[in-house]
Amino acid sequence: MENTKKIQELLMNAIFEVFEKMFFVFLEPLDEDVKYEMIASINFIGPIKGDIDVFFTRDLASAMVQNMLGVDEVGVNLKLIEDCAKEAVNMIGGNFLQKYDSSKVFDLSIPVFKNESGVFATQEIAASETVWNLSFESNESLLGVKMSIS
């Protein structure tokens, strides 16, 4: 596997770029677990194979919908949140893979959304894969991103 620090940097740049340009959400790296309320996931295959899971708090997902679609808080519903979360993970995946190697072709799956709660542990490590666990904060809302490459 290539330099893991370089891959982490490319992933972080992709996350920042997507959230800042598409959702007008400015993230700060954080080194703590994230209590999430929903997950959006995507898989990719090509020269490398892997998956990306994004763990959202409801507050952050609601802010993303409001900023992207120009609706007020009352106009935010679960369907809009689901669409926005799936679009976010899709754009993160595409942005990361383009930065990783724009000369190669990668296939991205259709994003999946789960309305479930839990705790995303940033210290979790999988033995058989290379895994990056990143957490972020924006206006007291939290976000977790896990990417694994096998």
Do the beta carbons of residue 14 and residue 89 sit within 8 Å? no
* pTM of the entire predicted model: 0.92
pLDDT at 141: 94
> What helix, strand, coil percent values describe the chain, rounded to 5?
40, 30, 30
Concatenated DSSP letters for 24-61?
Answer: ----EEE-S-EEESEEEEEEEESSS-EEEEEEE-HHHH
- Domain ranges, ordered by start, for the chain: 4-149
pLDDT, tens digit, for every residue of 20-51?
999 999 999 998 899 999 999 999 999 999 99
pLDDT at position 16: 98
Residue ranges in the chain modelled with pLDDT below 70: 1-2, 124-129
pLDDT for res 124: 61
* pLDDT for the residue numbered 133: 93
What's the rounded Cα separation, in Å, for the pair 9 and 147? 12
Say what the pLDDT of residue 128 is: 46
Was domain 4-149 assigned CATH 3.30.830.10?
no
Dist CA 38 CA 35 (whole Å): 10
What pLDDT is recorded for position 125? 56
- Work out the widest C-alpha separation in the chain, in whole angstroms: 46
Q: Can you give the length of the chain in residues?
A: 150
